[in-house]
Chains A and B, each alone.
Chain A
Amino acid sequence: MLLLVEQFLNGLQFGLLLFLLAAGLTLVFGIMDLVNLAHGSLYMIGAYFAATFTALTGNFIGGVMLALIATLIVGMAVEVIAMRRLYGRDHLDHVLGTFGLILFFNELVRLIWGPAGMNLTLPPWLNTAVEIAPGVYYSAYRLSIIVVALVVALFLYLVIMRTRIGMLIRAGASNREMVGALGINIKLLYTFVFGVGAALAGLAGLMQAAILTAQIGMGENILILAFVVIIIGGIGSIRGAFMASIFVGLIDTIGRAFLPDMLKAVLSPAAAATVAPALSSMLIYLVMAFVLVLRPEGLFPATGK
């Protein structure tokens, strides 16, 4: 029971982390129709910025804030310099162009920070365990990830559904030309959306960096998971991304934790030991393939398109 609670929270935490990455990706994908493989690079850059700024300022929160602002600026710069020119082009052009950006950013990080990874040290008040129920302890830091991501999700929801700028974003997603014709500076809006997506990716990266380390290429594997999330959730749908990321996080974590034991009940121990790791890594891809075969547009297709 204790294990189940812990694994459930781990899955939730991982899922919410994926959500931060997927939210920016699905916004950019849904609104600008841009496949951004370099989203993982922004995740990496956020982690490196946070490690540098916290070491520089000696203050965790301050460093994180600086890192978020810096990632936002980098994201907006990338949009103005490169991405802006890719809108309206074929998806394959996006793949090639942003693949080039991945190479560029990986090398740039290696040039600036060197090939070794960087650690992001947690302040003592986060580096403890809290008692969430009588006798059940859980890492305060992981708990804080859950809280931060939930707050961000709520904030995103409110901004997109309840504010003028959110209305413009939604309008831009359904008909770009019409919004432009009504006198809205759609270019500026897109730059802003891309920057926010970048900052969210950076936030995910720096939170993960404190658990693992900041490494070159750290964004590439999780990027694929984020794509799985937005595909399952339906492209362009924040609500879908939220549901799907929690779903994927839980399936992945719980599958890894319990699948070996479940298989042992059915198969011989030797066979189970071989099959279990493969099956648990495959699980989310199986789910995605299954979802796409049944619902070729994802579970929660964005409406109005």
Chain B
Amino acid sequence: MNDLLTVRNIVVAAVAGVLLILPIYAQAIGNLFLLSLFTRIVILAIAAVSLNLIMGFGGMVSFGHAAYLGIGGYVVGILAHEGVSSGFVQWPLAMVLSGLFALVIGALCLRTRGVYFIMITLAFAQMVYYVAVALDRYGGDDGLTIYRRSQFADAIDLSNKTVFYYLCLGVLFAAVYLVWRIVNSRFGMVVQGARSNDRRMRTIGFPTFRYRLACFVIAGVLCGLAGVLLANHTDFISPAMMHWTRSGDLIVMAVLGGMGSVFGPVIGAVALLVLEEALPYLIEFVGGIFTSQDITTAREYWQLILGPMLLLVVLFARGGIDGLLADIRRG
């Protein structure tokens, strides 16, 4: 019993609990922005969890993960634009296309290692980005508004914000569970073994390339699903969904939260995006204590605080927030 009551587990339970009751709280105080913000957080957390599967456990640092967000989103957007708004068509198609894309680029990228892998995944993501920019019929650079969210007959209504939030949260928990199961399976052990020592794994008879490729594809499908949700959430798609800085954001979420654990990226996503929203107010509040002058303009400069904070996390908290929490117990 004592093993379960670590600071780390309490924080994980607290984050999961907050995510679960958030819509009720948002309704109670009538703050709809809060619900919208957390829907975004949950969706990006799904993407970060999927990235963590290949990055944290498989050692494949993909700097092009946002491409799947874009593919998933564009499938929904393009089909909706062409009059096919059935989610039974859109969602499976988006996942299949993300998987196929992952299969093709994975087969090429996995030939390289280390930094070269980082850059070649970036290259493929940039290609998808420019394809989206060139899609004049679907808005090109300006993007495309989606007038109807995915329709699931009468089963589920995505335009209901609370329902949509819980759907996303359900997908997130399912993704975390899936990744947890994969990591602890024989398949996951092989992938992790290949991260530590690929040559040794091959010597004892595992065709690691296939295992790593399969893992890469699973992550791609999962992130494509996150893209589907993101497009439905914003009712809008544009190439900006898969700009390289978005891929960077996903890496930051995973590293910030802690790559060693399955739930780490969720903590990272919540921490990063909540900080982005909260820091301006924090600056105003703290400034208000020291001076009575009007300092609302200082709120704009929140990145001046966030940047060094990220650097401090890297310097002093190895293993991200999750590693920090695990350290507390060890004393």
Contacts and interface: CB of A to CB of B under 8 A. Distances in A.
Interface of A: 29, 35, 37, 82, 85-86, 89, 91-93, 95-97, 99-108, 110-111, 220, 224, 227-228, 231, 235, 274-275, 277-278, 281-282, 285-286, 288-289, 292-293, 296-298
A37 B244 CA distance: 12
A224 B122 contact: yes
Interface string B109-150: 001111110111011101100110110100000000000000
Contacts of A110: 300-301
B115 A231 contact: yes
Given A296-B113, A297-B116, A100 B126 contact: no
Contacts of A103: 303-304, 306-307, 310
Given A96-B252, A99-B252, A282-B126, A274 B119 contact: no
Contact of B255 (A29, A95, A220, A298): A95
A38 to B, nearest CB: 10
B303 A107 contact: yes
Interface of B: 55, 61, 108, 111-116, 118-120, 122-124, 126-127, 130-131, 133-134, 136, 244-245, 248, 251-252, 255-256, 259, 300-304, 306-311, 313-315
Report whether over half of chain B's contact residues are helix, strand or loop; otherwise say mixed: helix
Contacts of B256: 96
B304 A104 contact: yes
Contacts of B244: 224
Among B108, B116, B248, B259, max chain A CB count under 10 A is at B116
A5 B108 CA distance: 36
Given A278-B133, A285-B126, A97 B310 contact: yes
Contacts of B308: 100, 104
A298 B306 CA distance: 35
29 contacts: A35-B118, A37-B248, A82-B315, A86-B315, A91-B61, A91-B118, A92-B251, A92-B259, A95-B255, A99-B248, A102-B307, A103-B306, A104-B307, A104-B308, A107-B301, A107-B303, A107-B304, A224-B126, A227-B119, A227-B122, A228-B119, A231-B119, A235-B115, A281-B133, A285-B126, A286-B123, A288-B123, A292-B120, A296-B111
A285 B133 contact: no
A96 B255 contact: yes
Contacts of A298: 116
The 4 lowest CB-CB distance pairs between A and B, nearest first, are A100-B310, A104-B307, A278-B134, A103-B307
A101 B311 contact: yes
Contact of B248 (A86, A95, A289, A297): A95
Given A282-B127, A285-B126, 16 more contacts: A89-B314, A92-B55, A95-B248, A104-B303, A104-B311, A108-B304, A227-B122, A231-B116, A231-B119, A231-B120, A277-B130, A277-B134, A278-B133, A292-B119, A296-B111, A296-B112
Contact of A292 (B116, B255, B303): B116
A278 B130 contact: yes
A100 B307 contact: yes
A289 B123 contact: yes
Contacts of B55: 92
Given A224-B122, A296-B112, A107 B130 contact: no
A277 B310 contact: no
Contacts of B259: 92
A14 to B, nearest CB: 18
Nearest to B244: A224
Given A99-B310, A104-B303, A289 B251 contact: no
Among A97, A274, A293, max chain B CB count under 10 A is at A97
B216 to A, nearest CB: 16
Contacts of B314: 86, 89, 93, 96-97, 100
